Amino acid sequence: MPYRPVNSAITSLYLIGVLLGAALLLTIVAKPNVLAAPQERRSHSTQIERGKYIVEGLAGCGYCHTPRDKDGNPDRSKWLEGAPVFYEPARPTEGWANTVPRLAGLPPGSDEELIKLLTTSVARTGKAPRWPMPRFYMTRTDAEAVVAYLKSIDVKH
């Protein structure tokens, strides 16, 4: 029995979809820039927004690097300006930091040192950061976004 489409309109739509998919695939293969690293396609403001999302949402940097108000909450008027560590470890931990550095405006270290810290968890000392600093293994793109955001913060104090 010969093949007969049930509905030629459905068959036409299917073929159009297949052709569009193939054209998209050829476009991606023919133009490697479509798959280029995100930082190459992003504007600086988009990079800063990504960094803000990571710092404030995912990494939670403000919980430790921001002084506390009278109620024990991070004081947004002194956002990421460095602070005493407000908690102690459950058991004695060698090298536990008592204060955390300012990150806002001009973070400590060069951009490359900060990116290395955020991508490898190796500080400028060549060692892991002191506890309670978490160990991060971000992508370079995300680490660059974090640095861009930190440098964009206007320090008021």
| pLDDT, tens only, 31-80 | 344 454 554 555 889 999 999 999 999 999 999 999 999 999 999 999 99
> What average pLDDT is seen over the chain?
81
CATH topology of domain 38-152: Cytochrome Bc1 Complex; Chain D, domain 2 (1.10.760)
Q: Work out the pLDDT band at 21, boundaries 50, 70, 90.
A: very low
Angle at 125 between CA 122 and CA 98, to 5 degrees: 90
Burial pattern 5-19, b for ≥16 Cβ within 10 A else e, equals eeeeeeeeeeeeeee
Rounded to an integer, the average pLDDT of 7-28 is: 40
Task: Give me the residues paired with residue 83 across strands.
Answer: 100
Q: Which residues neighbour 27 within 8 Å (Cβ) at sequence distance 6 or greater?
A: 34
